[in-house]
Amino acid sequence: MQLIETSALGVRSAWFRFACRDNGWSVSLYPMIHVGEPAFYEAVYRAAAAHDVVLVEGVRSAVSRHLTRTYRWSAKRYGLIVQPRFEAGPEGPRVVQADLSRHEFDVEWKRIPLWIRALVNLMVPFVALALRWSGTRESLAATAELEDRKSQREILGWNPAVGALSRTILDVRDQRLLERLAAILAEPADEGRSVAIVYGAAHMRAVLKELRRRGFQVVDSGWFGIFDL
């Protein structure tokens, strides 16, 4: 199942709506990348705001801010923007911050071997500057494509350092997201209640697996353009 697709025309994100005969909730998934056209985020947020509940990500810590320099510093070069925070007005949906807290993320980060953390901290500014000086939309698109199953490149590229980073940046946060989703789905629901998940595309793999385990099936889908090439 394609989550983020790249082509000669540009990059686009799939969206899916799932429903289950045994549960009154529907679940819509909006896989995100964190740099794109303003119109992309406006369209996704408008669609998400039509739901009863919206689950969003975001770790506000010094560590995460350092790591995100790799795309924050280069967004303007691409003529794009960094993903803005989802805001819901007083009449909007209930917004649930489904990510780790600052303290929880920092604790998990410190579980990564020191030499890996030191290497990442050293490399991030150099990578961010390289992208800021020479990055292109084409190079960004080349790394954006993602499916619900790991690619051959991901499988062959695994090593202990990648595994340690993946556990903190993906796996632990995926588990928290699934816990928040489970709590929502356990709430009493009249027919037609809905939850939207607006999260980084890589996190959607865990969500898809969980929805399938619970008997949810796709009932609608479509695409949002992220940026043109």
In tens digits, the chain (229 residues) has pLDDT values of 999 999 999 999 999 999 998 888 999 999 999 999 999 999 999 999 999 999 999 998 999 999 999 999 999 999 999 999 998 877 889 999 999 999 999 999 999 999 999 999 999 999 999 999 999 999 999 999 999 988 777 777 777 778 889 999 999 999 999 999 999 999 887 767 999 999 999 999 999 999 999 999 999 999 999 999 9
Q: What's the sign of the alpha-carbon dihedral 70, 73, 78, 81?
A: positive
Q: Is 199 left (phi over 0), alpha (psi -120 to 50) or beta?
A: beta
pLDDT of residue 89: 78
Q: What is the pTM of this model?
A: 0.93
| CA distance between the termini of the chain | 23
Alpha helices (runs of H) in the chain, residue ranges in sequence order: 38-48, 62-67, 69-72, 75-78, 102-110, 114-134, 137-142, 152-156, 160-166, 172-185, 204-213
